[in-house]
């Protein structure tokens, strides 16, 4: 859906004159994926991929089979910014059923050639992603198991809440415990213990493909959650808003 792509890029705007019209005229290819399917393999390049529905993860599988997940994508995210310019060193996999819209390399290169504002928007998108990655790095390096889990849950909920995909403390999280463990650098045994602790403390529960936040304030405090780490970077022009209100 070109309109969603334009809206997504608008978050990193401002977009230059004529770019919306050019994007509207582009042909996006739609693809659907089931949970666990690879959306983009490592090494692929020169595609602009927009997640239109569902949740996806970026991950690397090591030689010994161990896996590190290092981000979760929500609808409206441009999920293959690395592959756009240099070839991704990681793969993107569907966490649940997903729909992806893809703009091919030739059209994209023409747009990038013509439109400096598209280059700038994509650069801001990369910088936004880098900021979220630094938060992830802080979690893995400096936060306790409970704190990094709390921070992760707050991110997943907050990002969906900004899209109205979360309400009444509930949102989708079609992940099993091994997915969460691989995202947070913990063993499955450890994450099982942490999840039980969060549930017993009345903070959050994960079950049946969903996340339920029981006490946002205490969970955010435990995880030292700062939504600024995920807010789209703009050129100070009042760009597309991500709502800043506290989740309900």
Partner 1 sequence: MLAPLIFIGVADDLRTTFVDFDIDAIDPSERARGLLAEHRSCERVEIWRDESCIAVISRVGLDRAS
Residues in the chain: 248
Q: Does 8 bind partner 1 (CB under 8 A)?
A: yes
Residues 130 and 229: beta-carbon distance below 8 Å: no
Q: Select the span of 4-12, 36-44, 64-72, 207-215 touching partner 1 (CB under 8 A).
A: 4-12
What does the radius of gyration of the chain's CA atoms come to, in whole angstroms? 18
Interaction of residue 189 with partner 1, rule CB under 8 A: no
Q: Of 25 and 63, which has the nearer Cβ to partner 1?
A: 25
Q: Is the CB of 75 or the CB of 227 nearer to partner 1?
A: 75
Asked if 13 interacts with partner 1 (CB under 8 A), we say yes
From the list 35, 45, 53, 169, which residue makes contact with partner 1 (rule: CB under 8 A)? Answer: 53
Structure tokens at 91: 């793969």
Residue of the chain from 42, 120, 163, 188 that contacts partner 1 (CB under 8 A): 163
Distances (CA, A) of 180 to 47, 113, 114, 146, 184: 28, 40, 42, 12, 6
Of 93, 57, 54, give the one whose Cα is nearest residue 209. 54
Stretch that binds partner 1, among 61-69, 106-114, 137-145, 235-243 (CB under 8 A): 235-243
- Cβ proximity to partner 1: between 117 and 149 the closer is 117
Region of residue 96 (phi > 0: left; psi between -120 and 50: alpha; otherwise: beta): beta
The alpha carbon torsion through 136, 137, 142, 144 (nearest 10 deg) reads 40
Residue 136 CB partners (closer than 8 Å, separation 6+): 70, 71
Is there a contact between 51 and 100 (Cβ–Cβ < 8 Å)? yes
In the numeric block, the tokens 């013509």 are attached to 114
Q: Which residues pair with 73 in a beta bridge?
A: 56
Number of residues that bind partner 1 (CB under 8 A): 29
Among 20, 45, 170, 192, binds partner 1 (CB under 8 A): 20
Helix (H) or strand (E) holding 49: strand 48-53
Residues between 27 and 46 that touch partner 1 (CB under 8 A):
32
Q: Smallest gap, in angstroms, from Cβ of residue 183 to partner 1?
A: 23
Contact indicator for 183, 69 with CB cutoff of 8 Å: yes
Between 2 and 119, CB nearer to partner 1: 2
Side-chain half-sphere CA neighbours of 4 within 13 A? 20
Q: Which one among 87, 241, 246, 248 touches partner 1, defined by CB under 8 A?
A: 241
| Residue of the chain from 11, 90, 143, 148 that contacts partner 1 (CB under 8 A) | 11
215 near partner 1, rule: CB under 8 A: no
Q: Which of 97, 104, 185, 209 binds partner 1 (CB under 8 A)?
A: 97
Q: Which residues bind partner 1 (CB under 8 A)?
A: 1, 3-4, 6-8, 10-11, 13-15, 20, 32, 53-54, 75-76, 97, 99, 163-165, 237-243
């Amino acid at each position: 859906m070109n309109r969603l792509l334009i809206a997504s890029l608008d978050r990193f705007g401002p977009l230059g004159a004529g770019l919306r019209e050019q994007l509207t005229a582009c042909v996006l290819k739609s693809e659907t994926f089931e949970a666990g399917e690879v959306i983009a393999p490592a090494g692929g390049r020169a595609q602009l991929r927009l997640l239109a529905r569902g949740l996806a993860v970026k991950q690397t599988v090591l030689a010994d089979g161990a896996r590190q997940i290092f981000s979760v994508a929500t609808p409206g995210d441009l999920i293959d910014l690395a592959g756009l310019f240099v070839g991704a060193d990681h793969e993107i996999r569907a966490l649940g059923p997903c729909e992806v819209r893809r703009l091919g390399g030739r059209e994209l290169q023409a747009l990038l050639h013509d439109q400096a504002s598209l280059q700038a928007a994509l650069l801001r998108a990369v910088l936004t992603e880098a900021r979220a990655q630094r938060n992830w790095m802080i979690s893995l390096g400096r936060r306790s198991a409970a704190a990094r889990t709390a921070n992760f849950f707050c991110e997943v909920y907050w990002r969906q809440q900004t899209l109205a995909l979360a309400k009444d403390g509930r949102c989708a999280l079609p992940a099993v415990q091994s997915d969460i463990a691989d995202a947070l650098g913990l063993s499955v045994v450890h994450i099982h213990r942490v999840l039980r602790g969060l549930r017993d403390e009345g903070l959050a529960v994960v079950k049946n493909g969903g996340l339920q936040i029981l006490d946002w304030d205490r969970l955010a405090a435990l995880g030292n959650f700062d939504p600024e780490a995920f807010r789209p970077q703009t050129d100070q022009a009042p760009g597309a808003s991500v709502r800043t209100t506290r989740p309900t």
